[in-house]
Amino acid sequence: MNSNLNIIFTAREVAIAAALEAGRLARSRFDTLGHYEEKDEHGDIVTEVDHLAEAIIMKKIQTVFPTHHIRSEEFGDNQVKNDWMWLIDPLDGTNNYAVGLPLFAISITLVYQLETVMAVIYEPMTDRLYVSTVNQGTSCNSQPITMSRAREFNRATVGWIQGHGVQNQARAVKLRQHIDVHTKRMMRLWAPTLQWCMLARGDLNGIILYDSEGLDLYSGLLMVQEAGGVIVDFEGNKFQGMNAEPYLIACAPKHVDYFVAMVREGLEEAHVHSALGNGNT
């Protein structure tokens, strides 16, 4: 156990150094992009900065942990078999970055036997460094943050996150519309890690995630959990481990029933709409 803790604490320092260096690079190149490349038919893109930041992060990790498994956004999978796995999103919010919108972050996560144990998220433009370690809490710029300061609400402010492949899937559209109508504000930043950090520090009331795993997901989940939040699926069951097709609700413990009911109502409306569209009654 002690050896695992030593690995986690060393990995945390490596991740912090890597995120800060990659973040400085991203900040220095911000608003200077000449072009970018389309990655797929869903509008996802990649820039030179994605590749440069990724190279910085991977070099630092591989120098200290050459036998660890790594999955990174642009590089892919190093195919190394190990209980320790790194998940890297070198520029979460690339679409924002490419159009000069300063909403992006670097996300680095360490997973042990499919359980997230450490995460670092760095927001270069505001110089906010979020660090979370299993059973050690979450901090922003070395100051502990918790969801205990989460505001009470009559109508919630909610973050919506969906996978690139979801697009305008009818069920997702109806749920999204239901949430939009029944909340004070529904936010879609296209930089999910920033929404997770907002939730962890109590500036959002909840997040609804629709089929969006991604390499940035597990850093955000750990940030929220270690700040006192809970993660459940759409049925209200506690979420653990990893899932290639997650449908999740994240919020303060006292608000779980509220958000589960909201999602259930939205999905029921989507089902009724689908049945009527098919001519069923």
Residue ranges for the known binding site for Mg(2+) are 73, 89, 91-92, 216
- Give which of 108, 111, 142 is closest to 19, Cα–Cα: 108
Count the helix, strand and coil residues of the chain and give each as a percent rounded to the nearest 5.
40, 25, 35
Give the SS3 label for residue 84: strand
Q: Quote the CA–CA distance of 133 and 145 in Å, as a whole number.
A: 13
What are the binding residues?
Answer: 73, 89, 91-92, 216
Give the SS3 label for residue 115: strand
Using alpha carbons, list the distances in angstroms from residue 160 to 115, 179, 197, 203, 250: 24, 9, 14, 14, 11
- Give which of 126, 248, 90, 109 is closest to 198, Cα–Cα: 126
Instruction: Report yes or no: 64 and 10 within 8 Å, Cβ to Cβ.
Output: yes
- Give which of 38, 186, 49 is closest to 105, Cα–Cα: 49
3-state secondary structure labels for all residues of 147-211: HHHCCCCCCCEEEEEECCCCCCCHHHHHHHHHHHHCCCEEECCCCHHHHHHHHHCCCCCEEEEEC
Instruction: Report yes or no: 205 and 228 within 8 Å, Cβ to Cβ.
Output: no
Q: How many residues does the chain have?
A: 281
